[in-house]
Amino acid sequence: MNWYHVNLNIGPIPLSTGFTFQPASPIVSTPVTFTATTTGGTAPYSITWNFGDGSSGTGVSIVHTFANAQSFTVAETATDSSSPSRVASSSKTLTVQPTPPLSTSFTFLPTTPLVNSLVTFTAVTIGGRLPYSIIWNFGDGTTGSGTSATHMYATAGPFTVTETATDSSTPTKTATDTHSVTIYTTLPISLTAFQASSYSPQVGQTVTFSASAAGGTTPYTYTVAFGDGGTGSGNPVTHTYSTAGSYTATVTVTDSASSQASVSRSLTVNVRALIPPQLTLPSNQTVTAGTWINFTVTATAVNMGGVVTLSVTGLPTGATFDPRTGLFSWKPNSSETGSYTVTFIGTDSSSPSTPTSKPMGIQVNQAAPSGSNGGNGGSGGGSNGSCSFCGIFPRISTTMSLLLIGGFIGLLASLALLTIRARATLEQTRRRMKRLNRDS
């Protein structure tokens, strides 16, 4: 076996470098952090920075603050530890935005504080120049400081709280925010929930409204305006909308304090129109007198919980219709020729009900005549002279005529056979008599 030596030394990986900075949209006088990423060459690396504003720095990660609002080209240079050393560089242009105006605001929790309970105030300040100084005036003669401050009120009532933020610019800038904070001896009445059993009911469907309240002085009184002019009281309370549309239902809860307090909340109910049942039945029918016509009518409810009841009007004499199965049956006789209109009705169980109906035309024709009058089919008498005894004898059906003709032909065949046999027997007798006479 031969062994071969392969030299895989393809040289050092080329040196390369790049950098990122945060925030992506720096602001005047706000620190910007630059971070270099270098690969290849021989570690360790030496990183130098040129920030484009006449200042420089060193290090893999460095923080710099720009004093002017303009665009700067930042260059980063990496030098490795090889001999001779290798150098790689990267540059980016960033735009420094002007300092936004100083503004401040604050929030407090809980939103319904009680006497002798801690209230936490938190300021949010932007713009200007960091750092900020925050001062609080709690409205009861006391003050505080810091981005977040807590305070306890000894008495109930509304208090005007003012927060003042001062930045570090020269000269300094200030911004204020003010809120009225009400301190309660007991929690005020509040609505914790208001809901409907259905937010998209059908016309005639019962909707149940229910609410939940807290605070204040129990018991509570609940009143609901349903949005269609109707009102109700109690909890829960039900209502039925008679017309399709969008309605705003509002509940008002009132407590039992000597100085009553109330609170309200609304919700939207979209009432849908009722849809009539769907009836399925055959197209118009044509039938010959003396033959059966049978078909089934089906109905499908579209509304919620719908059960459809079938009925019919214009039912011909002798016809039957079963509303349970939808089966229609009729065998019209020859005296019932003509046109009939039967209307089938489906009524669902919604309230109010939404019946639907469909008419069906039935044409009853006279049976074709069995005579040989050329097919002009007269139904009575001998007005065309082709039936002399039609008025005396009843007309025989085609089937009966065929039976009579068949019987008559059979009778003739039987008589012919009997005649042939009788002649044969007579001939034999004559021959026998002749033989006897010769023998004697």
Residues in Cβ contact with 262 at an 8 Å cutoff, skipping those fewer than 6 apart:
189, 252, 253, 254, 255
The residue extents of the domains of the chain are 16-95, 103-183, 190-271, 278-365
Alpha helices in 228-377 (DSSP H): none
Q: Which long-range contacts (CB under 8 A, 24 or more apart) does 46-49 make?
A: 46/78, 46/79, 46/80, 47/17, 47/76, 47/77, 47/78, 48/76, 48/77, 48/79, 49/74, 49/75, 49/76, 49/77
**Which amino acid is it at 51?**
F
Q: 16-95, superfamily in CATH?
A: Immunoglobulins (2.60.40.10)
- Type of residue found at 244: A
Whole-angstrom distance, CA of residue 358 vs CA of residue 343: 6
Tell me the three state secondary structure of residue 413.
helix
The answer to whether the beta carbons of residues 36 and 61 sit under 8 Å apart is yes
The pTM score is 0.46
How far apart, in whole angstroms, are the C-alpha atoms of residue 260 and residue 72?
Answer: 65
Query: Would you write out the chain's pLDDT as a tens digit for each of its 440 residues?
Result: 555 555 555 667 999 999 999 999 999 888 999 999 999 999 999 999 999 999 999 999 999 999 999 999 999 999 999 999 999 999 999 999 998 999 999 999 999 999 999 999 999 999 988 899 999 999 999 999 999 999 999 999 999 999 999 999 889 999 999 999 999 998 999 999 999 999 999 888 899 999 999 999 999 999 999 999 999 999 999 999 999 999 999 999 999 988 888 999 999 999 998 888 899 999 999 999 999 999 999 998 877 666 899 999 999 999 999 999 999 999 999 999 999 999 999 998 877 777 899 999 999 999 887 644 433 333 333 333 334 343 334 444 444 555 566 667 767 766 777 777 777 777 776 777 777 666 65
- Give yes or no for a contact between 109 and 120, defined as CB atoms under 8 angstroms apart: yes
- Residue 66 token pair: 């720009």
In terms of Cβ atoms closer than 10 Å to its own Cβ (0-12, 13-18, 19+), residue 66 is: buried
CATH fold match for the domains 103-183 and 190-271 = yes
Query: Which residue's structure tokens are 């919980």?
Result: 305
Q: 190-271 belongs to which homologous superfamily?
A: Immunoglobulins (2.60.40.10)
* Distance in angstroms (rounded) separating the CA atoms of residues 81 and 88: 12
Is 2.60.40.10 the CATH classification of the domain at 103-183? Answer: yes
Name the strands in the sheet holding 103-109, side by side, starting at the edge strand that comes first in the sequence: 103-109, 118-126, 148-152
Give the DSSP letter string of 76-145. EEEE-SSSS--EEEEEEEEEPBPPPPPEEEEEEESSS-BTTSEEEEEEEEESS-SS-EEEEE-SSS-EEE
Fold entry, domain 278-365: Immunoglobulin-like (2.60.40)
